[in-house]
Amino acid sequence: MGKGIGFGKVILFNEHFVVYGVPSIVSAIDKATVAVVERFDGEGWALEDERPATPGYKEEKLEQQRESIERILKAAGLDATKNPIKIWFGGDLVAASGIGASAASCVALARALSDEFGLQLSDERINELAYEGEKAYHGTPSGVDNTAATYGGLIWFVKGQPPLFERIELKEPVEVVMGNTGIVADTAAAVAGVRERKEKHPEKYAKLFKEAEELAYKARKALEDFNLKAVGELMDENHEQLRAIGVSCEELDRLVELARDHGAFGAKLTGGGLGGYMVALTPGKELQEEVARAIEREGFEALRTRIGVRP
């Protein structure tokens, strides 16, 4: 029996912009998906997915998940017709849009396969396998989600061949609240929409992308200086940029406003947008609880977690 884990993630700055080479800042959170792989007397591979989930998420993503598993097996050089396996997913990371659920499951599966079959894969190779798996969900993923799911901590990420990623050292983990709209979002469709609008309005988008790039460098410095007020203000600004490229929605904007009204240092959508999650910066357990309860009173799910968590 082989086991593996993959962290959930929250993009703090520049989702969507990251697809075009603009730096992004992502953090693992203290929630993870666990995978268990064991050989059995069946045919091919069988799946048991017991992750907690947003209603409809697992059903809607099932075909993508099947393709993802096939891709990971192929990339690992494993043939399930010769080595039939049972795959089980669990853990405390909610399977939902915007929280890196697919990447966490890809990383967890790659690690469990490595463990069961004695492949002794490095983190770098685990990340490569997970990226292969992510293609089933995102078409051409940026690689930011699987990198956070593999390595943990707070990461500066720039898409490329190979991608550039550097650790940002945070003085200590910081509490955040992630509010779930309950909407299962289609990341590939959101990415395609941005591309289409960018081609239609090149000047407007060039300006927005330049501003997003400048903001990333300010955010990195604010995080390294542990200036959380400045980090929050930049999150607010980044949300407006994401709204301007058309990836927010009414529910996300409502949650962002609600979090700010209850004292969050800053708040923004996180992930693909058009549903999924928002994230609010809420240093300290007391502020985290106040913002989380405000979100729950409005009928939404709130996830209390921390950024900057490392294995």
CB 248 within 8 A of CB 239: yes
Q: Exactly one of 49, 145, 186, 236 is catalytic; which is it?
A: 145
Q: Token match 């884990």: residue?
A: 5
Is 123 among the catalytic positions?
Answer: no
Strand pairing category for 85-91 and 2-13:
unpaired
Q: How far does Cα 305 stand from its chain's mean position?
A: 14
What the block records as the tokens of 262 is: 């209850």
Scanning 118-263, the segments in alpha helix (DSSP H) are 123-138, 144-151, 187-200, 202-224, 228-244, 250-261
Q: Whole-angstrom distance between the N-terminal and C-terminal Cα of the chain?
A: 22
Before 23, cis peptide (omega within 30)?
no
Active site residues: 145
